[in-house]
Amino acid sequence: MAKGYWVSVYPAGSDSGRLAAYDELAGLAVEAGGGRVLSRIPSRGGRVVAHEAGITQRVVLIEFDSFEQAVATYESEAYRKALVALPDGFERDFRIIDGID
């Protein structure tokens, strides 16, 4: 079975200090849903080398054992609480994608 992934890019307002409440609640929801954070760039000491457009905003990649598990976690009550904690004005590009079997 192919894995599922959450991919979030924050093109504006990526002040990670303002995301503390969201990060804590989202982390609990992801853990409860069986997800694993694979990358969180540029925070937590991660490195990025940008090419073409040169965009280096915050990117988060989370892996789930299946696409269905990724969708279910997004739709969970725990993650809905995290979404409420996103600060006003935060723009992000959030996708749930299917992995390749």
Could you state, in order of their start, the residue ranges of all structural domains in the chain?
A: 4-98
Q: In this model, does residue 13 exceed pLDDT 60?
A: no
Q: Which fold has domain 4-98?
A: Alpha-Beta Plaits (3.30.70)
Q: How confident is the model at residue 99 (pLDDT cuts 50, 70, 90)?
A: very high
35: exposed, middle or buried (C-beta count within 10 Å: 0-12, 13-18, 19+)? buried
Percent of the chain's residues with pLDDT above 90: 53
In eight-state DSSP terms, residue 84 is: H
Q: Which residues contact 55 (CB under 8 A, 6 or more apart)?
A: 11
Q: How confident is the model at residue 5 (pLDDT cuts 50, 70, 90)?
A: very high
pLDDT in tens, 81-97: 999 998 887 888 899 99
